[in-house]
């Protein structure tokens, strides 16, 4: 089938055969119309053409009788010659050797034959003609009897013979002509559909392709079609009128024009087929709009209006929608055909408007719910945009794009955090080996006898700094693991008061060295929490170590345990030695210290580690800075 579509010769043959079939259908269709009158009249004597020929011969007889009567009177020579010439001409025309018309002109009483063209040897008038007709002429005081010889006895090819012969042909071949017309029409339709099926296909091309014809604007073809329809329609109407009344008037030129009328029909069909073919190819190649000037203009106007409305503010869109609603309501209530049924049309418009408002409201509710889900932290959530109004659909798509952007940013952030954690872990691991060697060698030096006091002092500095570096690397690794959630958590029921007492016991000497007084307030009984003992110990250790390093000497440290609804909060307050000009959130970032001069020991990781470990256990960590007052709040879930 593909080869048939792509074969140019087969398609050209189909078009040629289509035109031939149309011509044959037109020719035999016209002959069928001629035969239709014969089928209706049944015999040739019933046709108007036969009556017209018969009336013509009656008129000749009347002229002949009138001329004979004129010659019986007194006439001048010239007039007499004119009448004699007329008589001779009519005798020649009415002679039985020149016509199949037979007549007898009798006296009024019918007793005597005055004029006749009968062959008396062939019998009476009734015996010679198919049917006898009678007419009385009062002005000539006579009776005219006349008729026409039956076709089977006709030997003269006159007008009567032609009427009988044409009638016999049209009547006998009517069914044949009609069948041939239907067959050729069906063949033409089939060939036309086949030609359209193959239009636009070319060898070795998967998709349809247009020709130079498709580069011509479609309006040109439509104008050509309109012109062909007007001209061809006019000609066909005239031809059809002539065919329908041919058996009334018998114009010989009508039969001769049948082939020419077929050519006109072929021309009109060819123009129509050309237009349908180019429209088909344009539809196959999806270029109908692009090759039509009017449609392109309509599309441009529509797209311009759509762009204008789309870029209007929502307020103006609402105003236009409301004005449109008022216009439709006015039209429905006051337009003459609809006003009769008022208020039913207006109610229908209101129902449609209500459905549109409900549709918009449902879409807005869906977007609002989706926005709440995204705002809650589920950045992977996508709002369903199916069947949303245009404005809301664009808004939903923008939110989905924001969600995708946030998801991408979070992924990048997590990737960056993992990279930093791996970098810190690797660097710390690389530092750990040489650092261990340094610490070991320092310990060996400390065990030897040093005579030089300076050397002993240097060894103490090395020992102190190496221990600080070791603590820093350990803090780095722990901070990295805590922030990425790489630490294992084993939550169990732990007494917060007992853990706090142990921590205060370890820090008692350090706090006394800084003349810091601890004021501890605890509720009666043990305060149990769900936490990991190791991680919670590290949180308290970091907070007390922070107090020992940065609290103002000679001040108090207030520690309070607060049991709330389902939680236990550890509050630690102290007065900072340095001015705290840093926001609380900033203090919980890595490597940020309240001592901006960095003259004290510390890595700036303690608070960051404390917060990460607290959150890792399901608790919350909060800092409050009020002037020089520093307050840390650690809240953990309470255990029964």
pLDDT digits (tens, 9 = 90+) for 34-50: 888 777 767 888 888 88
User: Is residue 158 pLDDT above 80, yes or no?
Assistant: yes
* SS3 state of residue 585: helix
* Per-residue model confidence (pLDDT) at position 147: 93
In the predicted model, is pLDDT for residue 544 greater than 70? yes
Question: Based on the domain organization, do 517 and 626 belong to the same domain?
Answer: yes
Answer whether residue 128 is part of any domain: no
At residue 465, does pLDDT exceed 80? Answer: no
Confidence tier at 425 by pLDDT (50, 70, 90): low
Query: What's the distance, Cα to Cα, between the start and end of the chain in Å?
Result: 84
The domain boundary residue, chosen from 452, 486, 520: 486
Both tokens of 584, joined, read 């609380």
Q: pLDDT digit string (tens) for 318-377?
A: 888 888 888 888 888 777 777 777 778 888 888 888 898 898 888 888 888 888 887 777
The reply to whether 425 and 448 lie within a common domain is yes
Domain boundary residue, one of 458, 486, 514: 486
pLDDT score at 634: 93
| Run of H or E including 270 | helix 258-284
Across the range 4-8, mean pLDDT stands at 67
- Residue 415, pLDDT > 80, answer no
Q: Averaged over 281-288, what is the pLDDT?
A: 80
Pair 357, 421 in one domain: no
Residue 127 domain-assigned?
A: no
Both 325 and 287 in a single domain? no
- pLDDT value at residue 252: 67
Most confident listed range (99-103, 238-242, 616-620): 99-103
Structural tokens at position 513: 């060295």
More confident residue, 430 or 132: 132
**Inter-helix orientation angle 77-94/48-71, to 10°:** 140
Structural domain includes residue 149: no
* pLDDT > 70 in the chain, percent: 89
User: How many structural domains is the chain composed of?
Assistant: 4
**Does residue 530 form part of some domain?**
yes
According to DSSP, the β-strands at 556-563 and 517-521 are: parallel
Q: Cα separation of 397 and 369, whole Å?
A: 14
Q: Could you tell me the CA-to-CA distances from 210 to 195, 198, 271, 277, 282 in Å, in that order? A: 15, 12, 18, 11, 7
Does residue 401 carry a pLDDT above 90?
no
- 122 is a domain residue: no
361 inside domain = yes
| 575 and 515 assigned to the same domain | yes
Residue 598: the pLDDT is 45
Cis peptide before 366 (omega within 30 of 0): no
Pair 267, 218 in one domain: yes
pLDDT at 278 over 90: no
Q: How confident is the model at residue 413, as a pLDDT?
A: 75
Closest to 619 (Cα-Cα) out of 449, 503, 489, 498 = 489
Angle between helices 159-172 and 8-41 (to 10 degrees): 120
Of 536, 511, 515, 519, nearest in space to 616 by CA:
536
Query: What 8-state DSSP symbol labels residue 116?
Result: E
Give the angle 209-213-214 at the CA atoms, nearest 5°: 55
To the nearest 5 percent, what fractions of the chain are helix, strand and coil?
A: 65, 10, 25
pTM of the predicted protein model: 0.47
b/e sequence 138-175, b meaning 16+ C-beta within 10 Å: eebebbbbbbbbebeebeeebbbbebbebbeebbebbe
| Three-state secondary-structure class, residue 567 | strand
| Residue 11 Ramachandran class (φ > 0 left, ψ -120 to 50 alpha, else beta) | alpha
- 295-304, 467-476, 572-581: range with lowest mean pLDDT: 467-476
User: Are 438 and 499 within one domain?
Assistant: no
Task: Indicate which CATH number applies to the domain containing 557.
Answer: 3.30.565.10
| For range 3-28, the mean pLDDT | 85
Kindly state the average pLDDT of the residues 473-487. Answer: 64
Residue finishing a domain among 486, 509, 541: 486
Domain that holds residue 343: 312-373
Residues 522 and 631 grouped into a single domain:
yes
Looking at the DSSP assignment, which residues form a beta bridge with residue 102? 147
Q: What's the per-residue H, E or C state across 70-112? A: HHCCCCCHHHHHHHHHHHHHHHHHHCCCCCCEEEEEEECCCCC
Contact of 213 with 220, CB cutoff 8 Å: no
3-state secondary structure of 308: helix
Mean pLDDT of the chain: 83
> Does one domain contain both 474 and 363?
no
The Cα–Cα gap between 431 and 452 comes to 31
Residue 472 and residue 591: Cα distance in Å, rounded? 11
Q: Note the pLDDT of residue 597.
A: 45
Q: Is residue 80 in some structural domain?
A: no
**175 in a domain, yes or no?**
yes
Q: Which of 477, 464, 478, 529 is nearest to 500 (CA)?
A: 529
Rg (CA), the chain: 59
Average pLDDT (519-543) is 89
Which of 199-203, 219-223, 485-489 shows the lowest per-residue confidence on average (mean pLDDT)? 485-489
474 versus 56: the higher-pLDDT residue is: 56
**Helices and strands, number each (H, E), in the chain:** 22, 11
- Summarize the confidence of residues 445-471 as an average pLDDT: 77
Q: Left if phi > 0, otherwise alpha if psi is -120 to 50, otherwise beta: which for 423?
A: alpha
Query: Please, which residues have CB within 8 angstroms of residue 101's CB and are 6 or more apart in sequence?
Result: 54, 57, 94, 117, 146, 147, 148, 158, 160
- Whether residue 337 sits in one domain with residue 253: no
- Specify whether the CB–CB gap between 621 and 610 falls below 8 A: yes
Say whether both 266 and 367 belong to one domain. no
Q: What length is written for the chain?
A: 640
Of the pLDDT bands very low, low, confident and very high (cuts 50, 70, 90), residue 101 is: very high
pLDDT recorded at residue 373: 84
Q: Rounded to an integer, what distance in angstroms lies between the CA atom of residue 292 and that of residue 286? A: 12
Query: Above 80 in pLDDT, residue 276?
Result: yes
Residue 623 has pLDDT above 60, yes or no: yes
Rounded to 5°, angle at Cα 627 from 622 and 629 = 55
At residue 482, the pLDDT reads 62
Same domain, 501 and 468: no
Q: What is the CATH number of the domain that holds 469?
A: 1.10.287.130
Residue 488's pLDDT band (cuts 50, 70, 90): confident
């Amino acid at each position: 089938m593909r080869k048939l579509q792509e074969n140019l010769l087969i398609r050209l043959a189909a078009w040629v055969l289509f035109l031939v079939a149309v011509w044959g259908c037109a020719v035999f269709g016209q002959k069928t119309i001629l035969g239709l009158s014969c089928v209706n009249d049944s015999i040739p004597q019933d046709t108007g053409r036969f009556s017209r020929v018969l009336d013509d011969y009656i008129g000749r007889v009347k002229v002949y009788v009138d001329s004979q009567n004129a010659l019986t009177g007194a006439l001048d020579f010239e007039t007499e010659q004119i009448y004699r010439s007329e008589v001779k001409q009519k005798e020649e025309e009415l002679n039985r050797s020149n016509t199949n018309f037979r007549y007898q002109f009798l006296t009024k009483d019918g007793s005597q034959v005055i004029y006749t063209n009968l062959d008396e040897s062939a019998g009476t008038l009734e015996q010679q003609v198919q049917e006898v007709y009678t007419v009385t002429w009062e002005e000539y005081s006579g009776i005219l009897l006349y008729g026409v010889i039956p076709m089977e006895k006709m030997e003269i090819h006159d007008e009567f013979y032609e009427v009988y012969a044409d009638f016999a042909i049209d009547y006998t071949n009517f069914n044949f002509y009609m069948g041939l017309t239907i067959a050729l029409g069906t063949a033409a339709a089939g060939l036309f559909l086949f030609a359209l099926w193959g239009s636009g296909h070319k060898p070795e091309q998967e998709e349809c392709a247009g020709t130079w014809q498709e580069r011509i604007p479609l309006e040109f073809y439509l104008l050509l079609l309109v012109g062909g329809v007007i001209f061809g329609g006019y000609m066909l109407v005239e031809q059809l009128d002539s065919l329908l009344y041919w058996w009334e008037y018998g114009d010989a030129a009508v039969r001769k024009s049948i082939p020419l009328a077929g050519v006109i029909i072929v021309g009109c069909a060819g123009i129509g087929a050309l237009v349908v073919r180019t429209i088909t190819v344009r539809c196959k190649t999806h270029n109908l709009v692009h090759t039509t000037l009017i449609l392109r203009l309509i599309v441009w106007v529509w797209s311009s209006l759509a762009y204008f409305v789309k870029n209007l503010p929502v307020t103006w869109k609402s105003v236009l929608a409301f004005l449109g609603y008022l216009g439709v309501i006015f039209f429905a209530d006051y337009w003459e055909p609809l006003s009769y049924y008022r208020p039913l049309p207006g109610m229908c418009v209101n129902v449609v408007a209500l459905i549109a408002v409900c549709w918009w409201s449902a879409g807005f509710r869906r977007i609002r719910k989706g926005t709440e889900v995204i705002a809650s932290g589920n950045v992977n959530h996508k709002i369903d945009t199916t069947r949303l109004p245009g404005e809301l659909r664009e808004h939903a798509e923008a939110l989905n794009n924001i969600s995708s952007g946030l998801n991408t940013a979070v992924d990048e952030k997590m990737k960056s955090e993992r990279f930093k954690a791996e970098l810190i872990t690797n660097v710390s691991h690389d530092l750990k080996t040489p650092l261990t060697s340094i610490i070991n060698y320092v310990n060996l030096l400390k065990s030897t006898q040093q005579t030089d006091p300076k050397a002993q002092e240097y060894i103490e500095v090395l020992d102190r700094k190496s221990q600080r570096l070791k603590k820093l690397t350990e803090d780095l690794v722990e901070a990295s693991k805590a922030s990425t959630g790489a630490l294992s958590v084993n939550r169990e029921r732990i007494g917060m008061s007992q853990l706090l007492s142990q921590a205060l016991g370890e820090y008692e000497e350090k706090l006394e060295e800084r003349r810091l007084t601890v004021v501890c307030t605890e509720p009666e009984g043990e305060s149990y929490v769900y936490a990991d003992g190791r991680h919670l110990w590290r949180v308290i250790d970091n907070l007390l170590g922070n107090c020992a390093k940065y609290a103002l000497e000679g001040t108090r440290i207030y520690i309070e345990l607060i049991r709330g609804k389902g939680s236990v909060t550890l509050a630690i307050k102290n007065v900072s030695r340095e001015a705290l000009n840093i926001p609380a959130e900033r203090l919980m970032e890595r490597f940020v210290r309240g001592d901006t001069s960095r003259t004290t020991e510390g890595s700036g990781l303690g608070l960051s580690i404390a917060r990460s470990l607290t959150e890792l256990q399901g608790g919350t960590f909060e800092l409050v800075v009020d002037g020089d007052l520093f307050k840390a709040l650690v809240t953990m879930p309470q255990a029964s």
